[in-house]
Amino acid sequence: MNRKSNISFCMATVALMSITAAVSVLNGNGSGLVLQKILVAPMFLLASESLHIYFPARREQKRSLARQAQFEFMNGALLGTFFVLAISKEVGSAWNVALNFSIFTSAYAITKIVWFIYRRKGHQQTN
């Protein structure tokens, strides 16, 4: 990463931590829980960055549908985990957490896969 990328990443981290803190406080979480949720933000960004390094965008046009589906489900799971850990108002039962996580991850991934197929078909028609 170059200097500009490092600064951008640091600013994104601070911004996400601030948003997470604001949402946690608005949800009525105690100070200890707010701090725990804030600390999830940098881990989420690092994991997201690592996932995008492993699945580079420049290779998306050559990527198979199965490989793209793998990326989208992993990315959806990462986002779902962040929302469950950092944004959700209260945890509730394990069943509710698992259900919300599964619904979010599946809806996100399926939407992104459909969009990938649509873009790929549109790109093939123009060639």
pTM of the model: 0.78
Contact 40, 13 (CB under 8 A): no
**Residue listed under structure tokens 């949800």:** 27
Supply the DSSP symbol for 58. G
For range 30-59, the mean pLDDT:
90
Residues 6+ apart with CB under 8 A from 102: 80
Q: Which of 40, 54, 127, 123 is nearest to 86 (CA)?
A: 40
The dihedral region occupied by 92, where left means phi > 0, alpha psi between -120 and 50, and beta the remainder, is: left
For range 98-126, the mean pLDDT:
88
Q: Which two tokens stand for residue 111?
A: 């939407």
Could you report the per-residue pLDDT of 101-113, keeping only the tens digit for each?
999 999 999 999 9
